[in-house]
Structure formats: structure tokens, C-alpha cells
Structure 1
Amino acid sequence: MAPDTVSLRYFLVLAQELNFTRAAARIGIAQPALSARMRRLEAELGTALLVRDTRSVVLTPAGAALAESAPPALAALDRAWAAARSAAAGELGTLRLGYSLSAGAETAPALVDRLTRGTSGLEVGAVPMATPEITPAVADGRIDAGITRGEQPGRGVRRFPLRRERVGVQLAQHHPLAGHAEIEIADAAAYPLRLPDRAANPVIHDQLSALFRDTRPHPRFRTPAVSFDLSQRDLRDGVTLAPAGETAVSASPAGITWRPLRDAPSLTFHLVLPREPSPLHRRVRAVAATLAHELRWLPD
């Protein structure tokens, strides 16, 4: 028979007070109910735990042994219950998160910080990945969740909008267009435009290049020899522009700035989760939705 943990906890209070009246008041039950609990506990154990008289309560040797050994056992049980509840709430375990490099400037760090804040039982390992690889990795279980820029193709996953950002261009602070609060798409197209290799993110590459499809003359696109060069050397010539989302502002080195393109559609970051969610996946989605609302990542 499983031990009656409620009666055991009551017994520990009584073992401290050595008085039924005080113990019953401390627990918040009637004294006869406490007495009945103790009799049942003794019957389960098959031995007396207490010696009672009209004035006092004394622990028997069995009662003293139980009073000494029960607290750590109950503490272990409490930890087991807490662990089970944490796991059911998605607050226990390891989360493997893959993210596009462009999400590393603000989006992924903010989500990881929120997921781990006040949750000691959850470990998060977040690594940058090539964007086309993220959705397949979530689908086949190599990672638990992903953040991609653009709605990437692939099966076996669910995608949730996480953040929308304005599209603009990175440029040198001394560039002729840097003095504009907004830049016309046609004006930007008059300068060389740097786009990453299409293989890095075909969806976003095509979306950005499509902005300039109808401009005349056709823009001159460049693919840098070094992808994701954080120093932005090629922009320092004061001529080349780099179409980019607004999060580029936080990652721009000294001497480089960002300006929005007028009337350009926004870019969207997506949270990618398996089609069959676990408690951990449900928590990631809930935390991401709260974060997006608080930081106004998805304006109406």
C-alpha cells in the first residue's frame, strides 16, 4: 500500500508540537480529525508512533525514527512532483534552437532570454544555421525549433509569424542618400546593390531583388566574395547599398547606417515548430507570442 503522505505530513507537525490541540490549529483541521489520521497512519505501519495521555504526546522509538527519516523522503517526493509539473509545462529539459544569421542580431537572443528567465530547469542551445536547412532539421528532429527569415518551404512543420520588419538599405553614413529619412526604391536602384548569394536564403533573396524588378535602368546586383562580412567593407566605398531588414540597425558597424525604403513590403521572421508539438514546443510558442506582443514585433 502506498504511504498516506497527507497523514505523514500531519504527523511531522504533531512531532514538532507534541500537542494535538496546537498541531490541529497549525494544520487547520479539527482535533478529532487529526487523531483519526494518526490512528490510520499507525494502523498502516502496524506500530504505535505516539504515546498519548491527557496532557502530553511522546514519540515512540518508531515515531522518532519516522520523524527523522520522513522529511528528506517527502522533500524528494516534492521535487519529483515539481519536475513532472515542469516537464508538463515545457519548463524542463533541453531546447535545441536553430536560427538564421539575420535573426541573431535581436530576435533569437530575445527569445532565448525570455525562455530561460526564471526557469532553471530548461537549457537552451541556440546555434546559427543556413536558413534552408532549418525547416528540414525541425521536421526530422535534429533541432526542436527554428527561427527563419521568410516563409521557408518544407513539410512536417508549422510556421508562426514572429516578427515583421521594414525593408531598407544599409549604406555608408557619407553616402549621398544617407541624408534622406526614407529612400525611394528607384533612387536606391541607381547605385550598385549588394545581395548575399541566393543559396543562403532563396526566399529572401528573391523578395529583395523583386523590389527592383520594375526600376529602369535595371539595377546592378553584386554578390560579395565573403558572405556575411560583419565589417561591411564593401559599403564603405560610399556608393554600394545593401538591401536589408530593420534589424540590421543593431548590427551595423561604425560608419554604416540604415534607411527604410519607401513603400517596400515588410520581411517576416517565422518560428518553426514540429507539426506534432510537445509540452516544450507549446511553451516556446506561448513565450514567443507573448514576447512578440510586448515588443510590438507584429504590428497591426
Structure 2
Amino acid sequence: MNRPDAVRAEGLRFRYGGVAALDGLDLAARTAEITAVLGPNGAGKTTFLRQVCGLAPVQDGTLTVLGRSIGGEDPTLRRDLGVVFQEPTLDAELTVMENLVLHGRLFGMSRSAARSGARELLGGFGLDGRSADRVRRLSGGLARRVELVRALLHRPRLLVLDEPTAGLDPEARAVFWSDVRAQVATAGTTVLFSTHYMDEAEVSDRVHVVAGGRAVASGSPLELRMSAGSGSVHLAVDAPGPLLAVLGAAGILALEAPGGVLVPHRDPAASVHGLCVLAARHGLRIDRVELRQSSLEEVFLSCVAAS
């Protein structure tokens, strides 16, 4: 299905003094899909999301959000956005319900409508028994899910998540993303999120790999894996440093991996002999060779290394 773009950025540039946070960023998020902005710290992800939310100006380039051309703060746009920031923003001394009702009131909902909507969402996300709990007594995973409920309470068209599961354990992250996927499936909400977790990017319909303030690769997780080639060669060695140096000097992209060195290649089987010969020529012993399919992590590391 060809969906319209809920968010489109073209040539976005943004500088903090002499530092370029965005350097010609081009990307799009389609309506009723989950779009990931994947990149290392300092890649410009948070700056971009702040612009989408109208919290940072568009210094250069164009940004369209839900059909609006964005140039700075836009209070009317925020009614259509639900946001979960990197840092927790719930009031720890209030109960879950008190936090949610306060949010609803700020968005123009009546107290009764806010309470009714909060009860419905809490029940849908398995939190109906937590409404009277003070936030400070919640685990990090539960508090994050309450923030998600709060962001959805006023029924936004676009949900913006800035590294929403940083610091959560794997089980809490899995539950959080199950809730997000359910929201997209049932309400058609568009989701735009940033992350540096590879497995989180896998839940998305489309991934934009960002490095140095620009998108260096875009596509579905499957398309990105295919674009990197059919796989990689894992060379098991005790000390990867010398082998990485030899491969780097030969102009071969290689990444340190658990137990050895990983070499992305479009034809892994054909590359094995040459890699082993190169290692032996420099007196390096390879204990074991393993052919692997490409992963999104390898695509990400390759794109960042080449940018």
C-alpha cells in the first residue's frame, strides 16, 4: 500500500554554534507506519525529533509534519502529537491516574473524559491495577508504559518516541514495543522513533540510518540487510586487533565481533580463501571460519563506518 508521508524532511541543516547537528537530512515517515531513525549518539536524532515537535527551529531545509510546513513552535501541531522523551517526565509524587488526568486537562479534555480515557488505555496495556500507585513506586518498565499511555491519551495522529526504552531490561523493552505495535494496528497511529538498539529498529516498517546529521541508508529492515549483501564471514581469533589492522590496511571493511572479526561481503564463500591467505601472510592464525547472513547491526556499522 502506498501511504502518504506523515513526516517529510528535505535538506535539513541545524547548527549549535559552530557544531552541525543536522547536515542535509532527508527522510520520510509514512502514515500509519512505524519509522525508525537509527544512529549512534551525536548523529542528530534528538535534534530532528525536536524539530518535528516544534521545539527547535528549522534553520535550513524544509520539514512537513501532518501536512503542515514547520518553521518553529506551532502550538496547534502539538495537539496532534504524542511524545515520549528520553528522560522520564512523570511527576513521581503523583499517582498514575493523577499524572494522566493532569495531561488530559492540559490538552483540553474534561476531567471525566481524561479519567475515562486513562482507564481504557491502562486496561488495554495491562496497567488497570496501577492507577492508584504513586509513580515513584513503579519499576522503570512500568513507568515507561505509563508515559506511553499518557502520550496516547489525547488520541494523537503522530507518536514521537526519543530513545524511549533506554535503560530498560529486554523484557520491559519487548512489552513496550508490543504495546506500540498494538496501537498502530488498532488505531492507525503513525510512529516515529529514534534508537541506537538494532533489535528495536527491526520492529519498524522503515529504517533511516543516520550518521553525521544525514541519512546514509534507508529502507525496510529486510531491504537494508539485502543491500549489504548476502552475508558476512566471521573469523574466529583470540586477539582481533592485529587482524583488524591487516584487513584495514588492505582496504577491507571489518568489524570486531564476539570471538573474532566480522567481514561483510556480497559473496562470503568466495571471500574466505583470500581472507585466510591474507591473514597467513602476516603470520596470523584463524581458528575457525563461519559464514553468516547479514544482520541489521552489520548494515548499521558498515553505513556508519563508511559515512
TM-score by length of 1: 0.23
Which one has the largest radius of gyration? Answer: 1
Which has the larger strand fraction?
2
